[in-house]
Every structure is written in structure tokens, then in C-alpha cells.
Homo-oligomer: A and B are copies of this chain.
């Protein structure tokens, strides 16, 4: 458990019981869980744990780069018409999603390590040209 105290301290946030338990769970269970999965898994050991705390903690740990959030586009589905392969960049300043026509020929394989691949997406996060120029 000492490890987790240090990880939290290094990230600059308080090492509460809840945060350590959540971090420990994520470390031991590499299943990319949802917020609810984390909550359900821990509630028997921590009967007073609230789902709000799980939400708060996961958010804070992502902010402090301890965890990675897989869903780059948050809680809303987004759609597009263009079917030409291209890359998406989500600007963290203006929240716009920009198409980049950088070519990629990686992952046109139909199989990787025995898994059949049918679709792929490359998503980047950063700050777009426009936001970089307008002071930021």
C-alpha cells in the first residue's frame, strides 16, 4: 500500500483511503473498468464508499496523469460522414475535433496476434494551431 501513498503524494494530491483503494483496484485489475465497475468491486470492502467519490477520484487521477481515460470524446457519441481514413485531433482548448489527413498504413492488417481487426481509429489530443496562435 506504501506504493500508492507515494504515487498520490508525487501527483500532489492527498492520500485518502478511498483513493488508495481505487488505485489499488485499477492496478490489480487491468480490465479497463467503468466507474460503476470500480464502485461495485469495492463496495463490499468499503460499505460507505459513494459513487460520487469514485467519479471524483477517477477524474482527479486522470487530471494528475496517474490514470488514463480511454474515451477521448467524453460522454457523447459523435458522428461523421467522411469515410476516408484519417486521424482525429481533439483540441483541449477549444474542444473542437479536427481532421488530419496524415496517412497511415499501419493496422491495415486483418489479423493481429490472432484477433480479427475490422475497424480502427487513431485519436490524438492536443492544442490546435488556432489556439496556439491566439495566446493560448
- Residues of chain A at the chain B interface (Cβ within 8 Å): 23, 26-27, 30-36, 38, 58, 61-62, 65-83, 87-89, 91-92, 96-100, 102, 104, 106-107, 112-129, 132
Q: A67-B80, A77-B70, A79-B62 are in contact. Are A115 and B132 (CB under 8 A)?
A: yes
Cα(A23)–Cα(B81), bound, Å: 8
Cβ A89 vs Cβ B70 within 8 A: no
Cα(A97)–Cα(B29), bound, Å: 12
Chain A, interface SS category: mixed
Cβ A97 vs Cβ B70 within 8 A: yes
**Interfacial chain B residues near A88, Cβ < 8 Å:** 32, 70
